[in-house]
RNA sequence: GGAGGGGUGACCGAGUGGACGAUGGUGACGGUCUUGAAAACCGUUGUCUCCUCACGGGGACCGUGGGUUCGAAUCCCACCCCCUCCGCCA
């Protein structure tokens, strides 16, 4: 959520930012109108309230309660109720509109229309040459008996799969390797959060109200399944004032992620690239506003470190204004080359969200013991998404006979050096 | 799930209709005193929001949401959470 004061006082800044994103500017105009109406009503209600408070105080001092004053105040009370009902209605609409307006891109984000305008900022490693035709992971997985697509469908339907034997072990090894690396080498505190959360958590992270159609929801108990660990991690400090000298806070968390993928219907249905349930290791930072840009650089570096330790070639691309996620100020994606399915796989997306989520989730910090609370900045980045890294490993480390060499970094986590 | 108890400011803890944003204490900060420190004493110490260039002023907040009333931390209703006991369970 943007600061309503910013929208009010510098509407042009907001218009320009939304234009760069390709957003409909009418939303901003509506917000400004609703804000004006709301404050007008609030002012009326508060003036009446001040009068009532004053008179009530006077009445409390009087021996004989004056019936006419009380009657008058009863009317004032009714008017207050009426105006407030109206004000609440306007406030509700204002909130809904505000929650649906995306964040403003940072000044240095390249302006562009869509993914085609994203920029490669660097690349690492050389794609391995093959003396044979590398197979896609779904063929490798089935041949090796480590991915069972048919039974996944039997159990749960399309976009579900079963990992078995060394397939399952490879995933577990990767999870442990990533958690260990981030917690022991990069300074993150490991968190195990709930996978089902309350509605307000999704509002805090900005998945709701706008992206409800990508979420699983238990109507009976009103639990929402997390689409990423970013959701519970954002809310870990919801409605808190973080004490002085505490920031930055770094968290890392492995969770299952649940996504309906309504928007991507029919896309990427083959293999394990896009399922309704997948594992992810997520890094998350709460930082002081002045430091968030530098923290993003280091967040990307922490994600890259995993790629490098696994010996998997990748490139880093910066998203342009038109491709930026809803909450992000600036984002870098990491993509790995998959020689089997011959495409770049997005294994990580690292974003600085500025104070956008912090305002929604009401996460503040106190710079000094005497100072007023300020909103923190939040950052999130995959470190990394498991299925796609599995694809990259399988396809990059495959051999002519269909076996897969285990990357060196994972050998201590596996009971084998080769999957065959 | 059943029975009972309880949710008040950073913390402890008073407050059952009217000067209560909330007594008191602790902690923290500033000051007096002291060579220094402790003790003692004095003072300061919430969040949000609206109006104002500012000084300052208004409004809201005592788990959450409704209701009663001229007026609610205090009364009524619903819900949530915590504690104790019982039941059930990985």
For A175-201, write each residue's pLDDT tens digit: 999 999 999 999 999 999 999 999 999
CA-CA distance, A301 to A112, in Å (whole number)? 25
β partners of residue A377: A287
Which residues, including other chains, have CB under 8 Å from residue A166's CB and lie 6 or more apart? Answer: A144, A146, A414, A416, A419
What integer pLDDT is reported at residue A204 of this predicted model? 94
Q: Could you tell me if the ipTM is greater than 0.90?
A: no
What integer pLDDT is reported at residue A264 of this predicted model? 84
Domains and CATH numbers, chain A: 4-99 (1.10.287.40), 115-419 (3.30.930.10)
A 352-391, residues with C-beta < 7 Å of strand B: 364, 369-370, 372-373
A 81-110, residues with C-beta < 7 Å of strand B: 81
In the structure, what pLDDT confidence band is assigned to residue A283 with cuts at 50, 70 and 90? very high
The stretch A137-153 carries a mean pLDDT of 96
CA–C1' gap, A84 and B46, in angstroms: 26
- The yes-or-no answer on residue A29 being catalytic is no
Six token digits for residue A313: 């070639």
Which residues, including other chains, have CB under 8 Å from residue A22's CB and lie 6 or more apart? Answer: A113, A321, A322
- The yes-or-no answer on residue A388 being catalytic is yes
What integer pLDDT is reported at residue A239 of this predicted model? 87
């Amino acid at each position: 959520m943007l600061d309503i004061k910013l929208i009010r006082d510098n509407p042009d800044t907001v218009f320009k930012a939304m234009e760069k994103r390709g957003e409909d500017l009418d939303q901003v105009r509506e917000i400004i109108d609703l804000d004006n109406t709301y404050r007008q009503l609030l002012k009326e209600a508060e003036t009446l309230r001040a009068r009532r408070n004053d008179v009530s105080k006077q009445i409390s001092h009087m021996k004989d309660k004056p019936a006419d004053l009380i009657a008058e105040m009863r009317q004032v009370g009714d008017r207050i109720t009426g105006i407030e009902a109206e004000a609440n209605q306007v406030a509700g609409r204002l909130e809904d509109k505000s929650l649906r307006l995306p964040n403003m891109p940072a000044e240095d984000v390249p302006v562009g229309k869509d993914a085609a305008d994203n920029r490669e900022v660097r690349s690492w490693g050389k794609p391995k040459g093959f003396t044979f035709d590398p197979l896609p992971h779904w063929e490798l997985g089935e041949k090796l008996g480590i991915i069972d697509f048919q039974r996944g469908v039997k159990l749960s339907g399309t976009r579900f799969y079963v990992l078995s034997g060394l397939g399952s072990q490879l995933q577990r090894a990767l999870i442990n390797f990533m958690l260990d690396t981030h917690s022991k080498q990069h300074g993150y505190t490991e968190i195990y959060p709930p996978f089902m959360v309350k509605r307000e958590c999704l509002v805090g992270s900005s998945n709701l109200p706008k992206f409800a159609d990508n979420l699983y929801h238990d109507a009976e108990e009103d639990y929402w399944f997390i689409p990423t660990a970013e959701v519970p991690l954002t809310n870990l400090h919801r409605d808190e004032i973080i004490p002085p000298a505490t920031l930055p806070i770094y968290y890392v968390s492995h969770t299952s992620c649940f996504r309906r993928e309504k928007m991507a219907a029919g896309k990427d249905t083959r293999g394990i690239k896009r399922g309704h349930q997948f594992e992810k290791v997520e890094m998350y930072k709460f930082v002081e506003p002045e430091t968030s840009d530098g923290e993003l650089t280091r967040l990307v570096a922490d994600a890259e470190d995993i790629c490098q330790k696994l010996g998997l070639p990748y490139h880093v691309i910066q998203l342009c204004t038109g491709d930026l996620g809803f909450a992000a100020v600036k984002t870098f994606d990491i993509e790995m080359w998959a020689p089997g399915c011959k495409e770049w796989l997005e294994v990580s997306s690292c974003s600085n969200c500025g104070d956008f989520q912090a305002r929604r989730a009401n996460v503040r910090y106190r710079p000094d013991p005497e100072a007023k609370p300020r909103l923190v900045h939040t950052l999130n980045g995959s470190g990394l998404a498991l299925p796609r890294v599995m694809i990259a490993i399988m396809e990059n480390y495959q051999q002519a006979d269909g076996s897969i060499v285990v990357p060196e970094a994972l050998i201590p986590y596996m009971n084998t050096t080769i999957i065959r």
